[in-house]
Amino acid sequence: MLAIFKRDFRSYLHSFIGPLAVTVILVFMMIFFAVNNMVYGYSVINGALYGACLYGITFSMPILCMRTFAEERRSKTDQMILTAPVSIAGIVLGKFLALVAVLMVPAGLACFLPLVLGKYGDVSYKWSYTCVLAFVLYGMMIISLCMFMSSLVENPIIAAVFSLIASFLGILLPGAYTHIPIEWLRKFLDSTYNFTDRLADLMMGTLDWTAVIYFVSLTLLFLFLCTQVIEKRRYSLKKGMYSAGIYSGSLIIICVAAVIAVNVSSAEFPETVKNIDVSGTGMYSLSKDSKDILNNMTDDVTIYFLAKENDTEGEKDVDVERILKLYAGTGKHVAFSYVDISIDPQFVKQYTDNELSYNSVIVVDNTNGRSRAVDYYDMTIMGYDDSYQPYISGYDIEGQVTGAIQYVMLPSDQLLNAYCVIGHDEMGFDPSYDRVFTNYSVNLHDIDLKTVSEIPSDCDLLIINAPESDYMSEEVSLIKDYLDKGGDIVIMTFYAAPNMDNFDELLSYYGVEKKPGLVVESDESMYFYQLQVPVYLYPELCDDDITKNVADGAGEHVMSPFSQALVYTEDPDDNISYSPLLRTSEKAYIKTDYQTAENLDKAAGDEEGQFVIALRAQKTLEDGNVSRAAIYTGVFMDPYGIYGMFSEATDYYTGGMNQKLFGNTLGQLVELENDIVTIPPHDSVSMIYLGSEQVRNILLTQVLVIAVIFFGGLGIWIYRRRG
C-alpha cells in the first residue's frame, strides 16, 4: 500500500495535474476569502471554505481522480497491480491516501487563514478549524466518489463526467426535495443524498455529528464499492466466479443498507446530542441558566415556531429553528411545533393583537393559559457595515425565549410593571425595545398623570422619556410622592424643551441640575465624525454596573446626541450618592446659542471642560428606603423627526449599543425579586477591521503562494517532458 501511495502521489506532482487541482481550489478559496473576510470583515473562514468546496473541490477532483483506475484499465497497466501480492483494499486505500495528500495541501494552507485574521480581531478558532475539518471530510467523500466512478469505466473522460454529474446532483437535488409531498421519501433522500446541507451544517458554528457520520460513511461506502468492482475483475477468469459474485453482491447490499440506516437514524438525533457549539459565543447552545429553568419547570409549555417545516422558499431561519429544538430537547415539559400562518392566519390572533413576522415565536403555558409572542426581529441583532448596509450581527433568541418562558410561568401578582408617563409629547419606545422589557419580565404601561390620583402601587419603575412640554405642579407632586416611597425612575431629558421649571424639580429631587446649552465635542474620536456634526457624541463610559459590558468591543460606541451637562454636588447631609454613566472628553464645550450646525465653533465665553451627560443617583430616605434614578440627556434629531436616545434611529448608528445600555439600566433599577434570569444576546460572527494596505498585503501573499504552486508544477512538468 505504501509503495502505491508513493507512486501515485509522485505522479500527481510530476504530471502537473496535482498542482493544477490545488491551484483551482486555492483560487476559489482566495476569491471567497477576499469577499467575505477582506471586504465584509467576517472573522470566520466558513464562506471561503464553503465556496472552495462547492466550486474548487467539485470541479477539480473529478479531473484529478479520473485516471485513478480508468486510465490503467485502458492501458492494461492495471494487470500488474491486480496480480501483485497486495490486497485490493490496500491498492484502493493507497490510491485514496495519495489523493487525500494532494487535498491536504490547500487544507494545510487554509489553516493559516484564521491565524492571519486573528491579528486584526477576535476569531473563533474552534469554528474556523471545524470548517477546515468539513473541507477535508467533503473532499475525501468527493475523492472516494470519483475513484468509484473511475473504477467503473475505461475512459477517463467518461469517469470525470460521471463524477461531475454525481457530485452536482448531490449539490443541486436537495433544493428539490422540499417539493416532494411524501414525507418519508423526502426525509430519506435528504438524509442519504444531500451534500450541500451536510456541508453547511458543519460550517455554521456547530460540530454536527450527523454531517460527520454522513461524510465518513459515504467515503467508506464508495471505497468499499470501488474495492468490490476491482475484486470482481481480479477473479473474473477464475473458477467460482458465480459464488464470488453472489457473495460480493450480498456484501454490497448489506453495506449500502447499513449506510442508509445509519444516516437516516442519525438525522433523527435530538439537537442536544448531534450538535456541539463551536461558535465561540455560545450562539448555538443553551446557557446553564436556561437549562436550569427548563429542568426545574413544572408547567407544560409549547413553543410555536411561525414557519413552514418544509420551507420551499428558503425563508425559514434555521438558526432560530435549531435553538428552539434545543429547548424541546432539554426540557421534558417543553414541546415544539411549527405553525404555517399562511394556512392558519387566525392562529396568531389567539395570543396577540400585533402583527408577527415570519420566523416569530409564540410561547404558551398550557397549564395556566398565559402566552407571550416574540417577533422575529426582536430576536435578531442588526449591525451595519462601513457603507451602513444592515446585516444580522447576532441573535437574542435565547434571551427572548427564556424570558418568555419565565414570563408565562410567573403568577400574575409577581410580574414586574413599568409605567411610562405620557401627555407631554414624550418620546415613545420603538417595538424593538420590547425585547428589553421581555427579558426582565416587565409589563410596560402608559400613564397620564392628569387622570390619576396617585401612581399605582404595583409600579416597579417609572419612565419619563424626553417630554417636550412642562409638567403641572400637581403631576410633579404625584411623582415625588412615588419617589418618597422608595420608587425608582428613569429620566430622559430634551434639551430644546423650553420653560421646564416644574420638570426640573424632579432633577433637583436628586440634587441634579442641567446646565443651559448644548454640549459640543471637539475630540474627533469622541463623536460621530462621518456626520461632521460634533453633537452626536460618542461619550466615555464610566465605571458602573449599568455601563458594564456595553460597547466594549472594537469599533463599538454608545451615542448620546444633543446632550446637556449635568451638575451635582456630593453632600453627605443630603443622603444622595452619584455615579457618572457617560461623560465627554476634556475638550468639550457648551454652546448656549445653538441654532444650526453651522454655528457650533467654539467662541469666547463658551465653557470648556469634561462634562457628565448621564448619571445614576441614589437617595436614602428618612424611613430607610432608597429611591434610585438614572438620568440621560440625549435626544436624536434629524431632518425626518425627533427620537429619544433609546430608539431605533440611534441604534442604527451604534449597532444596538444604546439598546444594550437601556437593558442594563432596566436590569439595575427593577427589583428582580423572582430570581428572573436574563440571557445576554449572542454575536453571530465578530467583525475584523482591516486597512487597505493590510488587505492588499494579505491578498498579494495569497496570489504569490498560488503562483508558486502553479508555475512550480508547470515547470516541473515541462522539465520532465523535455527530459
Contact 256, 193 (CB under 8 A): no
Residue 498, Cα to own-chain centre: how many angstroms?
45
Strand, coil or helix: what is 426? coil
Q: Report phi then psi at 125, rounded to 5.
A: -70, -30
- Closest to 690 (Cα-Cα) out of 21, 244, 39: 39
Q: What is the pTM of this model?
A: 0.70
**Residue 35: what residue type?**
V
Q: Alpha-carbon distance 296 to 319, whole Å?
A: 25
List, for residues 612-659, the tens digit of each pLDDT value: 999 999 999 988 899 999 999 988 776 667 888 898 888 878 878 898
Domains observed in the chain: 2-278+691-722 (no CATH), 288-409 (3.40.30.10), 415-678 (3.40.50)
List, for residues 284-301, the tens digit of each pLDDT value: 889 898 999 999 999 999
Tell me which residue has cell 468639550.
Answer: 588
pLDDT for res 276:
87
- Closest to 297 (Cα-Cα) out of 406, 377, 375, 413: 406
In this structure, the number of other CB atoms found within 10 A of the CB of residue 60 comes to 26
Q: Report phi then psi at 512, rounded to 5.
A: -115, 140
List, for residues 46-64, the tens digit of each pLDDT value: 999 999 999 999 999 999 9
pLDDT for res 141:
96
Strand, coil or helix: what is 371? strand
pLDDT for res 237:
45
Q: Alpha-carbon distance 381 to 200, whole Å?
A: 22
**Residue 404: what residue type?**
A
Helix axes 209-234, 125-152, angle to 10 degrees: 20
Where the chain has pLDDT below 50, the residues are 237, 239-240
Neighbour-count burial of 469, counting CB atoms closer than 10 A to its CB (0-12 exposed, 13-18 middle, 19+ buried): middle
Secondary structure element (H or E) that encloses residue 627, with its range? strand 626-632
**Residue 239: what residue type?**
K
Tell me which residue has cell 447576532.
Answer: 394
Helix axes 125-152, 58-65, angle to 10 degrees: 40
Q: Alpha-carbon distance 644 to 208, whole Å?
A: 44
Residue 264, Cα to own-chain centre: how many angstroms?
28
pLDDT for res 598:
61
List, for residues 551-590, the tens digit of each pLDDT value: 776 677 899 999 999 999 877 677 899 999 999 999 999 9
Neighbour-count burial of 394, counting CB atoms closer than 10 A to its CB (0-12 exposed, 13-18 middle, 19+ buried): buried
Q: Alpha-carbon distance 521 to 261, whole Å?
A: 67
Neighbour-count burial of 314, counting CB atoms closer than 10 A to its CB (0-12 exposed, 13-18 middle, 19+ buried): exposed
- Closest to 429 (Cα-Cα) out of 419, 417, 439, 440: 419
pLDDT for res 336:
95
